[in-house]
Structure 1
Amino acid sequence: MNCTSLQELGVDSNGIGGKIPPIIGNLSSTNLSKLYLNDNEITGTIPHAIGNLPSLTDLCLDNNMLEGPIPLEIFQPGWLTQLVLANNQINGEIPKSIGLAQHLSIMDISYNGLQGTIPETLSNLTKLGYLVLDHNQLSGTIPPGLSCSMILDLSYNKLTGQIPDGVAGLSSLQIYLNLSNNLLEGPIPLEFGNMDKIQALDLSANKLSAAIPAQIKGCAEVEYVNLSRNFLQGALPSSIGALPTSLHVLDVSFNRLTGMIPQSLQASPVLQFANFSYNNFTGEVSSEGAFANLTDDSFLGNPDLCGSILGLAPCSGKHGHFLYIAIIVVVAIAAGLLAMVCVVDHDLMKTRLRLTAPSIQLSHFPTVQGNATGKKESDEHPRISYRQLVDATDGFSEVNLIGKGGYGHVYRGVLHGGTVIAIKVLHQDHAGEVIAGSFERECRVLRSIRHRNLIRVITTCSTPDFKAVVLPFMPNGSLDSLIHGPPCGGKPEGPRQLDLDLLLGIASNVAEGMAYLHHHAPVKVVHCDLKPSNVLLDGDMTAIVSDFGISKLVITGARDPEVGEASTSVCNSITRLLQGSVGYIAPEYGLGGRPSTQGDVYSFGVMLLEMISGKRPTDVISEEGHGLHDWAKKRCLQHDVDAVAERWLPRDPPSVLPFGPPRCEMEVIVVMVMELLELGVACSQLVPSMRPTMDDMAHEIACLRDGTWRKYRATGLKAIDQTKSKKY
């Protein structure tokens, strides 16, 4: 109450419970602009008094247990730009007073229990970039004047009526429109052809009818189109294949489409996936061109289709047709016999599993180079007791608390031998199953990998009431603090500031670690939560990727009960994470995609752009109405790369700098910044198949660091040595 100059209050990801006190609206400071209470365990309702904060711009209450309706007063602060209430238990209707928030650019109230209609006053918000209302129980029609510039997601509701022409004709929409899983009906509006910037369109699982309009070719940059599970009729327009450089994914399955599949689609040089199943298509399908990688799964339920794709009936008369049927019958019989064998084997396996129930034990971990006290271990990680951890942290005191997250706290500890460690203690609360799953996933990942740029487990401590992972202590904090400074403007955690040389080293370290996870580890690992706060810096400023609590293990060609269970948990966790992580999460996850290595590449690209620009993804969205990808692609690379490069010019006097001659500094730095921006843009493309792999990224960054940059630094050092020789 006495903080008269308070501008920002952030207590997110701390496990805070209880209710938001009504005095929040009586704070002495009239300058409070940012309020972050997300990722906690806060209950109760949102206090009406929040409307008394006149300067409030950011209000993030997502990932809590809030309930009740949205108060009318929440939209009174005239400068509100970001409202995130996702993943709570909020119910009632969206207040009509939302029309007062004229500056609102991000609004996410997904995964709640909202009912009623979408208010017409939403059409007054002309600066909206993100409008995300999916997974609620909204009904009624879509307001015709609804406007958005980045993402419009109204999926998984009970919306009825037709798609308004105004919404279908949003020429400013840049990323995706998702209206799937509703009760929308009528034809697809011709105005969709005006969406010349949109990259993904999902109208699946509705009641849309009539023909697909030929005007869809006007979506010149669309890369993903899903029109499946509707009642669409008529022929698939050949114009849909006239998107030669954009369309990568097309799904029109489960409709009533007829005629031949257009040859223009087969000729597409970029089409990666297509699904024409369960329609009434006829004619011959060739296995050439874009269809070369398709299987018969893309053409199921079309009895009048034939062709050279494996599994389709050959177009060679009745004899070939009967032969195909015979083959199918034989395969079905064989599959039935195999299924019976599998059932018997499965019952035997279940008996064995009951006799040897799986558990996380220290002896399951692989050998490491040294233990917590610096001595060699031959067979397993060192054992450590709960009492030793209590002693090392002075009873897990607040003084030794160095980090908090959604799943637990991290403490600094000193063992009796003097070794400094970090102890990640997982919460034990009502979400115990989720926490236990996170602990087991992290253990599976950490026992399967070993790389200099990935966090190394020293040991674990697990009891029914306590679970902790013991890790090396990282004295230089996280990459997030290095980029943006410590919270509340405190002193930097490490001795160095981020310069171009350090940026290249960190980017290379992270790329190498992620490339190992994706391509070279014994078990492929998808991190699922790559961002600057999860990249730690050791004593030598080497970047270490950490926090594998929601990772996904992928075993190619094998079925592992543990991995399968982990995968299910990961999907649940990543869905929860999506609601509060605008910026780093790959767009395909918002369209129902499963976690993948390409999703990690997207996160790496955003993180690389954040390192170069010094801007958080959410800040760019609020300030400029688009993401870091578009900021780099359309603004920096085309118009303003020099302005970005200038922030990387050395601030020290030239006589003591390890850089080249001043006249060429700017030229080389511009080249380096442009190369890094292009890599970040390539990684953060909308379509996963168009992104490079982490192996590619590790190679490209290593070439930049060890080629152009090393040569430049060597020239600078030589010039400085010559200058010193003349001086002395």
Structure 2
Amino acid sequence: MGYLNFFTFDLLFMIIVFYVVRAENGTYVLNDRASLVSFMSQITSDPKNALENWNSSDVCNWSGLKCDNGSRVVNLTLSEKSLHGTIAPSLSKLSYLSILDLSGNFFEGHIPAELGSLSRLQAISLSSNRLEGYIPNELRFLHQLLYLNLGSNKLTGDIPMSIFCNGTSHVEYLDLSDNLFTGEIHLNNQCELKELKYLLLWSNYLVGEVPQALSNFSKLELLDLGSNLLTGELPSKIVGKMVHLQILQLSENRFSSHNGNTDLKPFFASLANCSNLTELNLAGNHLGGELPSIIGTLSTKLAKINLDDNHIHGPIPPEISNLVNITLLNLSNNILLNGSIPPELFQLGSLERMYLSNNSLSGHIPSAFGNVPHLGLLDVSKNKLHGTIPESFANLSQLRKLFLHDNQLSGPIPPSLGKCINLEILDLSYNRISRTIPIEVASLSSLKLYLNLSSNHLQGHIPLELTKMTMVLAIDLSSNNLSSTIPSQLGSCIALENLNLSRNIFEGPLPASIGNLRYLKELDVSFNQLTGEIPDSLQASSTLKQLNFSYNCFSGDITNNGAFSSLTIKSFLGNNRLCGSIEGMRKCHRKLTHNLLVAILLSLLITPIFCVAGYPLLLRSKFRRKSTVFNMKGIEDEKEAMRKEKKYPRISHRQLVEATGGFSPSTLIGSGRFGHVYKGVLQDNTRIAVKVLHFKADGEISGSFKRECQILKRTRHRNLIRIITICSTPDFKAIVLPLMPKGSLEDHLYPSHGPRCGLDLVQLVSICSDVAEGMAYLHHYSPIKVVHCDLKPSNILLDDDMTALVTDFGISRLVKVADENFSVNDSAAYSFGSTDGLMVWFVVQLVILLLNMEWESRHHLKEMFIALGVLLLEIAAGRRPTDILFKEGPTLHEWVKRHYPNRLEPIVEGAIERCAPCATVQLDSTKIWRDVILELIELGLICTQYNPLTRPTMLDVAYEINRLKQYLSSPSNLLIE
């Protein structure tokens, strides 16, 4: 009986304890909820609806939260959600929190000191926000912290020593980069972060020397102190103890070498202990001394060496050839670096880029250059090299950019250089090269950026093969001894923007075809022996900005109209037979008989024109006076012609109403400036998308409708949306397209619900390749040349097999060609009171026609390149170009460029993280993904450069992205920059 009483009492005690614990745990759960609600109250903007479900009863179901088995919040991750507001101190009440990630948002204000009370916190990421003020000292209480990232904010003041010396040795990652920190790096010997692997302090205003106590961080793999104001000797003793170091960035500081800035050997000797080193960047310091031969004993894993923009002198040690995995070697801008180029360098079989420019190197260019199979860029310009250009350059099949300018090279240009079939830039200017321009080199159609052979001793004529460089942007043949006439075929270089033929011995007339180059901006033909009149086509050009005709033998009348309106007398000096209205130029003296002759010639010209064209036009004007009510007849005729030509099915307005449920809001799938897009199903179960245009009387929408119909009717490509039919009535305009089952790229990049993932890297690159191919077709091969002016993710649709199709041509530009039909605006009615009025009208219309044939400028064509570049950067960076970050600060291009090339790791990691949940990424595939993402970023930056001379063609872009696509499917292929 006593035993039973005891058992009953024990059971009752356990039940009481259970309910007490449960009640206490429920109280903590309610505290967590209250803390999060307080945090949410400080959010002023949530454009992506990241907190949309933060009103349900169970906080563990809220987006961005994870709980433990006791329903306590342990993980709060809201990165890249574009949230605005301040970080509420109430988060400190989430006492079980171990991960806090609010990176990639727009939080302002200070970092709450109360976060220091979260004793279980292991990871904090507040990077890429707008946080200000100091780092709170209270963070020193976070003894379990492993990861701290406060980079890319506006934090100020000194970096508190407590960040490094907080009594814990667990921190592995510490990023305080890209802020406004000042003062020294405060460390003492008691600071031992023995587990720290990554330390990033770049782009601040830190001063003083690197503290010796940093050598206690013996497990560091990445140390980046670049872009600060650090001084003193290179930290040899410190890095010598970092045996695990892989990346060392000390660039853009004020370091010096040892022994009064004369000795680099101690530093490179200390690096010999870093057996895992892959990148070394000491660029932009004040380093003096010679490069020691001990550099050849560094880690064979070393892939990139940047020592440019220093005061290094002496010869290049041949021992560098021991670093067999080097892909990038940059020793440029060390003016006192001298001696010859060691032939041993060309045993570096992995070398892709070599920069040796702006030094004092002498001797010959070694023929061993031809032994580097993957060399894509070679810059040995601005040295004292002499001798001839090696024939072995013919072996460099991957060479894209060759800079040999500003040397003392002599002899001919080797014809074998024409075997460099991927060459995009060739600069041999300011040398002593002689003889003629080889036909083989002139036939290099791969040259897309510029050809510069200026300031040499070249002779002979311009080879006609050079006129086949249809995509080259700049040609400079100035300051040579070239003779004969300027070939009229230069007008075939249709992409040319800059042409300099000055200071040669050219004679004869200046070809009028040069004035027809629609993108030409600069032309210099000064100091030649050209004769005849300056072609009127040059004055009529809408793109020419800089012209120089001085010191030739030109004659004729010059007016200050058109492209000549901004010119001064300096552009025409030395042409004694020129006269005109340019200020400082002698006036032209005309005779009355000359004016009479002109009048007679004009009469003879206008009379047959009137007989052939005037009378029918007069009849047409009479007909217009009788019937002017059919303002939309041209569109209806065009629709009927389109239906007859392509046999498009007839779909009535009523059928579209039935298919879309009366254009119900529930079927609305998109809206834009010119209308709405509805989804629907026809009676034969065909799924369609109906683009209904807003009807306006101003003709703007009519123009958009006609333009889009014309493009969809006359273009055929697997990556362009096809048209099913159109439906057009006087008050209703619609285009019927196939419905794409996978939606748009916008839906996958920025889903309104669910995780931000849906496409892996293979799919994204394939989509980019499809888009580039479609754009290349529009630009180069389409029956009508089209410039898509609204390329963005929402205008890229995906079909069942994830093939991308470009759509929405409503505001595209049509590049007019010479064989287009001339038509008069049907919406206007003309009446003429006299034959003279008709003549004037006809002449005006003829002039308008001729001007319209040249209306498209290089600026408009470049819009498509920039848009595709922005799309690539958007995919890689995971940010919209319209984010508030770019509206109030730099553009997306500028923001990515600010991180290029050495600060891209967060962007690359973010891209891999976004794609990884959608595909299983093995460890050996990570490098492949990194390579591809980096290439996408570089290609995006090239396409969005402000200088059009440095942008590629659309065919180049399509080729490069297709290469990346092939690389992902066959990673054994090498990527060559």
TM beyond 0.5: yes
In structure 1, how many angstroms separate the alpha carbons of the residues matched to 2:722 and 2:767? 12
The residue identity in structure 2 corresponding to 1:55 is: Y
Q: Is the 8 A contact 2:97 2:120 kept in 1?
A: yes
Equivalent residue, structure 2, for 1:206: 253
SS of 1:209's equivalent in the other structure is coil
In structure 2, how many angstroms separate the alpha carbons of the residues matched to 1:400 and 1:60? 38
Equivalent residue, structure 2, for 1:185: 231
In structure 2, how many angstroms separate the alpha carbons of the residues matched to 1:546 and 1:135? 39
Alignment deviations for residues 263-288 of structure 1 (CA, whole Å, 9 cap, x no partner): 12134322122111122212110355
Q: Is the 8 A contact 1:91 1:114 kept in 2?
A: yes
The residue identity in structure 2 corresponding to 1:199 is: Q
Deviation of the 1:138 alpha carbon? 0.4
In structure 1, how many angstroms separate the alpha carbons of the residues matched to 2:764 and 2:48? 35
Q: Is the 8 A contact 1:59 1:84 kept in 2?
A: yes
2:900 matches 1:592:
yes
Equivalent residue, structure 2, for 1:163: 210
Q: Is the 8 A contact 2:304 2:327 kept in 1?
A: yes
Q: Is the 8 A contact 2:677 2:690 kept in 1?
A: yes
2:454 matches 1:331:
yes
Task: Label 1:321 to 1:345 Cα distance change in 2 as closer, same or farther (>3 A).
Answer: closer
* Alignment gaps of 5+ in structure 1: 356-374, 404-410, 424-446, 460-469, 494-502, 525-534, 549-557, 581-587, 614-627, 634-677, 702-728
Equivalent residue, structure 2, for 1:624: none
Note the aligned Cα RMSD (angstroms): 6.7
2:360 matches 1:289:
no
Deviation of the 1:257 alpha carbon? 1.2
Deviation of the 1:49 alpha carbon? 1.2
Q: Is the 8 A contact 1:253 1:277 kept in 2?
A: yes
Q: Is the 8 A contact 2:308 2:330 kept in 1?
A: yes
In structure 2, how many angstroms separate the alpha carbons of the residues matched to 1:18 and 1:509? 26
The residue identity in structure 1 corresponding to 2:185 is: I
SS of 1:181's equivalent in the other structure is coil
The residue identity in structure 1 corresponding to 2:900 is: G
The residue identity in structure 2 corresponding to 1:16 is: P
Match for 2:47 among 6, 16, 19? 16
Deviation of the 1:313 alpha carbon? 3.2
Match for 1:142 among 185, 207, 217? 185
Size of the alignment, in residue pairs? 539
Equivalent residue, structure 1, for 2:863: 562
Equivalent residue, structure 2, for 1:583: none
The residue identity in structure 2 corresponding to 1:231 is: H
Equivalent residue, structure 1, for 2:360: 303
Task: Label 1:345 to 1:134 Cα distance change in 2 as closer, same or farther (>3 A).
Answer: farther
Equivalent residue, structure 2, for 1:467: none
In structure 2, how many angstroms separate the alpha carbons of the residues matched to 1:523 and 1:700? 28
The residue identity in structure 2 corresponding to 1:177 is: L
Alignment deviations for residues 489-540 of structure 1 (CA, whole Å, 9 cap, x no partner): xxx99xxxxxxxxx9xx8976676577679998499xxxxxxxxxx99976x
Task: Label 1:223 to 1:564 Cα distance change in 2 as closer, same or farther (>3 A).
Answer: farther
Deviation of the 1:563 alpha carbon? 5.4
In structure 2, how many angstroms separate the alpha carbons of the residues matched to 1:522 and 1:230? 44
In structure 1, how many angstroms separate the alpha carbons of the residues matched to 2:723 and 2:763? 18
Q: Is the 8 A contact 1:187 1:209 kept in 2?
A: yes
SS of 1:160's equivalent in the other structure is strand
The residue identity in structure 1 corresponding to 2:356 is: F
In structure 2, how many angstroms separate the alpha carbons of the residues matched to 1:80 and 1:379? 68
Equivalent residue, structure 2, for 1:414: 679
Q: TM-score, normalised by structure 2?
A: 0.43
Match for 1:245 among 291, 300, 306? 300
Q: Is the 8 A contact 2:89 2:114 kept in 1?
A: yes
SS of 1:593's equivalent in the other structure is coil
Equivalent residue, structure 1, for 2:969: 698
The residue identity in structure 2 corresponding to 1:415 is: G
The residue identity in structure 2 corresponding to 1:300 is: S
Task: Label 1:84 to 1:302 Cα distance change in 2 as closer, same or farther (>3 A).
Answer: same
Alignment deviations for residues 439-464 of structure 1 (CA, whole Å, 9 cap, x no partner): xxxxxxxx999778x999999xxxxx
Deviation of the 1:160 alpha carbon? 0.9
The residue identity in structure 1 corresponding to 2:863 is: E
In structure 2, how many angstroms separate the alpha carbons of the residues matched to 1:575 and 1:129? 25
In structure 2, how many angstroms separate the alpha carbons of the residues matched to 1:379 and 1:239? 77
The residue identity in structure 1 corresponding to 2:47 is: I
Deviation of the 1:59 alpha carbon? 2.6
The residue identity in structure 1 corresponding to 2:182 is: S
In structure 1, how many angstroms separate the alpha carbons of the residues matched to 2:255 and 2:932? 26
Deviation of the 1:228 alpha carbon? 0.5
Q: TM-score, normalised by structure 1?
A: 0.55
The residue identity in structure 2 corresponding to 1:248 is: A
The residue identity in structure 1 corresponding to 2:97 is: L
Match for 2:155 among 111, 114, 125? 114
Deviation of the 1:422 alpha carbon? 12
Q: Is the 8 A contact 2:74 2:98 kept in 1?
A: yes
In structure 2, how many angstroms separate the alpha carbons of the residues matched to 1:18 and 1:683? 30
SS of 1:214's equivalent in the other structure is helix
The residue identity in structure 1 corresponding to 2:162 is: T
Task: Label 1:249 to 1:294 Cα distance change in 2 as closer, same or farther (>3 A).
Answer: same
Q: Is the 8 A contact 1:249 1:274 kept in 2?
A: yes
The residue identity in structure 2 corresponding to 1:109 is: L
The residue identity in structure 2 corresponding to 1:254 is: D
In structure 2, how many angstroms separate the alpha carbons of the residues matched to 1:543 and 1:122? 48
Q: How does 1:449-528 map to 2 (within 5 A)?
A: 474=741, 522=776
The residue identity in structure 2 corresponding to 1:331 is: S
Larger Cα-atom Rg: 2
In structure 1, how many angstroms separate the alpha carbons of the residues matched to 2:129 and 2:721? 32
Deviation of the 1:121 alpha carbon? 1.5
In structure 2, how many angstroms separate the alpha carbons of the residues matched to 1:185 and 1:393? 73
In structure 2, how many angstroms separate the alpha carbons of the residues matched to 1:296 and 1:449? 40
Task: Label 1:308 to 1:72 Cα distance change in 2 as closer, same or farther (>3 A).
Answer: same
Equivalent residue, structure 2, for 1:222: 277
* Alignment gaps of 5+ in structure 2: 1-25, 61-70, 258-263, 367-379, 389-406, 412-429, 435-452, 457-475, 480-497, 502-519, 525-537, 546-561, 563-642, 671-675, 692-713, 726-736, 779-795, 808-857, 886-895, 936-962, 973-977
Match for 1:254 among 302, 306, 309? 309
The residue identity in structure 2 corresponding to 1:282 is: N
* Identity %, equivalent residues: 20
Alignment deviations for residues 39-93 of structure 1 (CA, whole Å, 9 cap, x no partner): 4454442221111111223333333332221110123222223323233221100
Alignment deviations for residues 404-459 of structure 1 (CA, whole Å, 9 cap, x no partner): xxxxxxx9963364737799xxxxxxxxxxxxxxxxxxxxxxx999778x999999
In structure 1, how many angstroms separate the alpha carbons of the residues matched to 2:183 and 2:661? 56
SS of 1:80's equivalent in the other structure is coil
Q: How does 1:77-116 map to 2 (within 5 A)?
A: 77-116=118-157
Deviation of the 1:97 alpha carbon? 1.2
The residue identity in structure 1 corresponding to 2:326 is: L
2:171 matches 1:128:
yes
Which one scores higher on RCO, CA 8 angstroms, separation ≥ 6?
1
Deviation of the 1:19 alpha carbon? 13
Q: Is the 8 A contact 2:155 2:181 kept in 1?
A: yes
Task: Label 1:576 to 1:146 Cα distance change in 2 as closer, same or farther (>3 A).
Answer: farther
Task: Label 1:98 to 1:508 Cα distance change in 2 as closer, same or farther (>3 A).
Answer: closer
In structure 2, how many angstroms separate the alpha carbons of the residues matched to 1:595 and 1:472? 41
Deviation of the 1:139 alpha carbon? 0.8
